[in-house]
A and B are shown apart, each in its own frame.
Chain A
């Protein structure tokens, strides 16, 4: 599947595939944000918890 300007009308099956690939892309973005969240919790959390130590 070519991205960018290649927008030749796909068949019904192709359209379904494209739609699900669109959803998958959004879910991947969500997963990336969560992965970032995990890393930030790890690093910022460490910094924060370390700062609390007397």
Chain B
């Protein structure tokens, strides 16, 4: 075990969480502005309570920072895990006050679903939600998506031996925090460019399908934020099915696919290195697994007669498989249609797609293409080594924003995280079965929760057992933080109660 944390350690962690809470309070400005603009004063008051609570608690916690603070990466990781929980509580306040959620638990579930860019929802009567609160739901998921990318690129750099080491050559760099600021700035730049392009494109698409100009803008902004963060929330209860439009769906696909790509890749592409797309191990991995799984699903859906033509197979089959594989969770069918109409084989393809997930250092969830690629290459290398004479050696490398060594430590990290994902999925599925759902339903919803996807087969509903809501909420949190931050928190808590060592 580790040394027992000192008082300063607690203060550093709480102070960092406080800074996150202050940031959240600042983000509240967006829905507050919408509420003021639209004259939705009841929503304005609810949101202002959430905003004030975030600022007050955040300032109080931030003031705990010790003068001689020496934050390390473990502080960063534990603070991350704590921040996600704290943000969940603070973001849920206007949800609960709005009267659209049956309980505090439902409100917290939605906030966690938003911050983890999952997209499962327990909201009631979504079609009558205020514009301001709809904005808040989507801003939460947008901020959550950005936050996790910053987290992936910075906090985990110092400690994990998994995929992240690959991106950052200076993995041994101790000076984390200046890097965080720098990385975050680069990420927000890329996101801002896409935000402008994406909202514009969806606005035009909305106008072309007959939405009034103002509605088209709001819907464009909301759907864009959910797409780019691979979140999967939508402003209406039918999700993207509300729009009944191939054009709208197509534009969505472009932006949630973009959101599921590694930000390092975006950076390379946006600075003139376009060839990186074809060489990147994650892109190759995603393309191969997607092509295979979609072919399987298309065959299953055609063979079962679920969809009887190429156009329907594309708009329902392709759309949902890519929505699953990028861990977005946009749907154009009713949840129960998966259970009633999709064959078990097609659902298995969906489960695999949801578990594989998008790219590392993106807003997507799941095991991630980087780890899939690493494990595949590692297996290939092992076979190759088997066939070579024992004294022969060769380079084990992987290409992702530069050639990197694929050493045993890296492979072990990738394998462990992949194993943790699969184990979590199995346990989540068992929890669903224990709550009385069919194994297929529980497995589908379990994969959606573990991979932070947000597609639903109908399990997630306000009436589901409270215990299962809690399990899903925790799994979303653990899956989003890729275990490491939560395990660090667990170790920290354990060490607090452990024996003191000099």
Docked Cα-Cα span, A30 to B323, in Å, equals: 13
Q: How many cross-chain pairs have Cβ atoms below 8 Å apart between A and B?
A: 109
- Name the prevailing secondary structure of the A interface residues: helix
- Name the prevailing secondary structure of the B interface residues: helix
Asked if B274 contacts A45 (CB within 8 A), the reply is no
Asked if B272 contacts A52 (CB within 8 A), the reply is no
| Complex partner residue of A48 from B253, B275, B283, B302, CB under 8 angstroms | B302
Docked Cα-Cα span, A25 to B310, in Å, equals: 27
Bits for B278-317, please: 1 = Cβ < 8 Å to A, else 0: 0000010001001100111011111111001010011001
The answer to whether residues A25 and B269 also contact, given A33-B257, A40-B294, A45-B313 and a CB cut-off of 8 A, is yes
Query: Does B379 have its Cβ within 8 Å of any Cβ on chain A?
Result: no
Docked Cα-Cα span, A44 to B300, in Å, equals: 8
Bits for A28-54, please: 1 = Cβ < 8 Å to B, else 0: 011001101110111111111101100
Tell me the B243-276 residues at the A interface (CB within 8 Å).
Answer: 250, 253-254, 257-258, 261, 266, 269-275
CB-defined A-B contacts under 8 Å, sample of 20: A1-B272, A3-B273, A18-B272, A21-B269, A21-B274, A23-B193, A23-B194, A23-B197, A26-B254, A26-B266, A29-B257, A29-B283, A34-B253, A40-B294, A40-B295, A45-B299, A45-B313, A48-B300, A49-B303, A49-B308
Bits for A2-23, please: 1 = Cβ < 8 Å to B, else 0: 1110110010000000110111
* A residues less than 8 Å from B274 (CB atoms): 3, 21-22, 25
Query: Does B443 have its Cβ within 8 Å of any Cβ on chain A?
Result: no
Query: Does B45 have its Cβ within 8 Å of any Cβ on chain A?
Result: no
The 4 closest A-B pairs by CB, nearest first: A48-B302, A22-B270, A22-B269, A48-B303
The answer to whether residues A37 and B275 also contact, given A30-B254, A45-B313 and a CB cut-off of 8 A, is no
* B residues less than 8 Å from A30 (CB atoms): 253-254, 257-258
Docked Cα-Cα span, A13 to B111, in Å, equals: 41
Docked Cα-Cα span, A3 to B266, in Å, equals: 14
The answer to whether residues A38 and B314 also contact, given A10-B272, A22-B266, A30-B258 and a CB cut-off of 8 A, is yes
| Total count of chain A residues near the partner, CB < 8 A | 34
| Complex partner residue of B299 from A3, A7, A38, A44, CB under 8 angstroms | A44
* B residues less than 8 Å from A52 (CB atoms): 302-305
Query: Does B318 have its Cβ within 8 Å of any Cβ on chain A?
Result: yes
* A residues less than 8 Å from B277 (CB atoms): 25-26, 29
* B residues less than 8 Å from A33 (CB atoms): 257, 287, 290, 322
Chain A residue at minimal CB-CB distance from B309: A45
Chain A residue at minimal CB-CB distance from B301: A48
What distance in Å separates the Cβ of A37 from its nearest Cβ neighbour in chain B? Answer: 4
Asked if A21 contacts B261 (CB within 8 A), the reply is no
| Total count of chain B residues near the partner, CB < 8 A | 40
* B residues less than 8 Å from A23 (CB atoms): 193-194, 197, 258, 269-270
* A residues less than 8 Å from B271 (CB atoms): 7, 18, 22
The answer to whether residues A47 and B310 also contact, given A7-B273, A18-B272, A33-B257 and a CB cut-off of 8 A, is no
Given contacts A3-B275, A26-B261, 10 further A-B contacts (CB under 8 A): A4-B273, A4-B275, A6-B272, A26-B266, A34-B318, A37-B294, A38-B314, A41-B310, A44-B299, A45-B299
Asked if A40 contacts B291 (CB within 8 A), the reply is yes
* B residues less than 8 Å from A38 (CB atoms): 310, 314
Docked Cα-Cα span, A8 to B312, in Å, equals: 47
* A residues less than 8 Å from B313 (CB atoms): 41, 45
Chain A residue at minimal CB-CB distance from B318: A37
| Complex partner residue of A26 from B258, B272, B296, B314, CB under 8 angstroms | B258
* B residues less than 8 Å from A43 (CB atoms): 295
Asked if A36 contacts B291 (CB within 8 A), the reply is yes
Asked if A47 contacts B294 (CB within 8 A), the reply is no
Docked Cα-Cα span, A10 to B266, in Å, equals: 17
Docked Cα-Cα span, A14 to B341, in Å, equals: 51
Chain B residue at minimal CB-CB distance from A38: B314
Asked if B314 contacts A37 (CB within 8 A), the reply is yes
| Complex partner residue of B272 from A3, A34, A40, CB under 8 angstroms | A3
Docked Cα-Cα span, A11 to B197, in Å, equals: 21
Chain A residue at minimal CB-CB distance from B287: A33
